[in-house]
Structure 1
């Protein structure tokens, strides 16, 4: 495996780039790296998209306001409080240009664009370290004191957080927003909030819409298992949301995104079932991984699990081994601020994929197991 492929940025290479490098082996690649929903859209929904593909690719989409208005109807939101974008990172970029004036506070480790984007435009980034000894849990009071001590102008909170899946109860997030009502902006990144099952209605989007300085960020690609479409949205009071809508291009969404948004109204039950299945798989996957003595598995409310490797395992070597020998793609966290390559993030996947991952990780720690795995694979092909 070409190590340079993983050293170009602070993010992982795309599935397509990696599959091209693997050649024929890319067809067997199982993605444990990019957070996705494996149960949605359903096969029937993909069949419907396939039947409409020619029209989807051939004709212009509606403007962003039309598509966002339909999404608002599906979600039960006021369209005046929304702005829809070509991926959540587009919104992060424009938030930085519009509202990040001097400094931004952010717990680390977290999603890399929250630190990279403001640093690229010369802002001061006040990084609040989440401690391994605390299981990377965020203490709201400690974070608030940090923000005040640093006199940060903007504060960001990711809930659940990436890469650890740590979750703050809704009441704590509301308290956080209210304590910082004097800041220029408070951003709550809820890209993974739909995967939470610790409490009902965990989102604070409706609360943000009536506050003067709060923006909630959402990522439809992560929730719906459609990263390739690139769509996200924010919820804020009509003034902030309107500023963002006027800043974004009028036709910044594509026809495929529009098609999916209009399909969602008819497939809410399937989406809710996908979340139930994923929560089940998250629990069983954590149990299976925890049985490997070389791993420490952290509790998560997202669609991924953070895992610490034993001192005998190098995360970079493990990542390359799993790709080259078993066509399994994982997220090694050595290039994440606040982490090292002793940590890997593993996306929740169905049981058969997890069994393949657990066997391969066991084989890495016990090389004699590799020969037995090869015999099993050959026997399966011959059957």
Structure 2
């Protein structure tokens, strides 16, 4: 860290966000970026037109209240408008939740590995970390997370489906966990990938809001709606919490193009659902193909799969890069985002060759160092 300026000591132990690597150009091969959990399909024509229309008046600020989109989303979700707040991606809303809840010395409980901004923001708030390792199946260890809550805990974060490991929380275990959380401790349920989840017993955060006033849902248009580059995230929570979060969200953070694109996307939600099912189908085929080649793949409910490769993660990443594929090497495993069918076939080809060379690891155990992806 620079000695030229008076900077906060917390920066010494706070890593910067590291984005997914781009693919290497390989002669004769089309390259694919499978390292950032992006939606690989082109936008719907109506959405593309909305983006263009929203950018025609760049000299004017966008609506700071995001009023039209807020009303439309509230109706779509079946909640009141005062329960919804938009931000520049879910990451800004996550930062706002830390700002309104956490002071130096407070505790934050979160699973690990999961989204890398959880420890980053805890560090920057001066909080103590209660980082609870996922279990051997890549799932939240909810009993251990509940046991970690103390009278200093101010924020608990859950991620369902969990990025990068893949499993979604089950309704029964979620309700049992929430019953153990003090009513004044905010629980953030990060559902960035919820639209790809097809598990019948997955926890329903939206339905749980009326039962748990301390629950805040974190969602985004980046993933299933394919608007990652426009930065449209939102929270759904108790109106009193939403009112306080407004103090921490930057004004005009959601651009006019982003608001219009999200509004039109909501009108085409059925098309989004069809696309999400197509992505989920590709994900399941990829997971099955990898398992058939001897790889350990956790239950996957997002738009990605996790290979529990342990210390062979670097080798697998190099094998992918040599074949025009960029994947996310997270230290103890590799996360592969779902892409076009031809990209998934190439992943399976690389995986098969890797396994044939003795590279498969099926007993690496639960990861403990990996990090997540932007929202």
**Same fold at TM > 0.5:** yes
In structure 2, distance between residues paired with 1:202 and 1:145: 20
Alignment root-mean-square deviation, CA: 2.9
In structure 2, distance between residues paired with 1:234 and 1:49: 23
Q: What SS is found at the alignment partner of 1:264? A: helix
Where do residues 1-383 of structure 1 align in structure 2 (5 Å cutoff)? 11-13=17-19, 18=22, 22=24, 28-39=30-41, 41-42=43-44, 44-45=45-46, 47-49=48-50, 52=53, 55=56, 60-66=61-67, 67-101=69-103, 102-131=106-135, 134-148=136-150, 152-199=153-200, 202-208=203-209, 211-293=212-294, 295-309=295-309, 314-323=312-321, 325-334=322-331, 340=332, 343-364=333-354
Q: Please say if residues 209 and 236 of structure 1, whose CA atoms lie closer than 8 Å, have aligned partners that are also in contact.
A: no
Distance 1:13 1:145, change over 3 A: closer
In structure 1, distance between residues paired with 2:279 and 2:317: 24
Aligned to 1:374: none
Query: 1:342-377 deviations in whole A, cap 9, x for unaligned?
Result: x1011122321111122233345568xxxxxxxxxx
In structure 2, the gaps of 5 or more residues are 1-13, 358-375
Q: What SS is found at the alignment partner of 2:56? A: helix
TM-score (norm 1): 0.79
Distance 1:23 1:33, change over 3 A: closer
Distance 1:85 1:361, change over 3 A: same
In structure 1, the gaps of 5 or more residues are 1-7, 335-339, 368-383
Distance 1:119 1:195, change over 3 A: same
Query: 1:114-135 deviations in whole A, cap 9, x for unaligned?
Result: 111111221101111123xx21
Q: Please say if residues 286 and 344 of structure 2, whose CA atoms lie closer than 8 Å, have aligned partners that are also in contact.
A: yes
Shift of 1:136: 2.0
Q: Please say if residues 221 and 262 of structure 2, whose CA atoms lie closer than 8 Å, have aligned partners that are also in contact.
A: no
In structure 2, distance between residues paired with 1:318 and 1:35: 18
Moved more, 254-263 or 151-160: 151-160
Shift of 1:47: 4.9
In structure 1, distance between residues paired with 2:216 and 2:275: 27
Shift of 1:330: 0.2
Aligned to 2:11: none
Give the structure with the larger helix fraction.
Answer: 1
Shift of 1:33: 1.1
Distance 1:54 1:349, change over 3 A: same
Q: What SS is found at the alignment partner of 1:352? A: helix
Number of residue pairs aligned between Structure 1 and Structure 2: 341
In structure 2, distance between residues paired with 1:265 and 1:252: 20
Shift of 1:332: 0.5
Point out which structure has higher relative CO (alpha carbons under 8 A, 6+ apart). 2
In structure 1, distance between residues paired with 2:42 and 2:183: 40
Q: Please say if residues 41 and 225 of structure 1, whose CA atoms lie closer than 8 Å, have aligned partners that are also in contact.
A: yes
In structure 1, distance between residues paired with 2:48 and 2:100: 41
Q: What SS is found at the alignment partner of 1:228? A: helix
In structure 1, distance between residues paired with 2:110 and 2:142: 12
Distance 1:46 1:362, change over 3 A: farther
TM-score (norm 2): 0.81
Shift of 1:252: 1.4
In structure 1, distance between residues paired with 2:38 and 2:30: 18
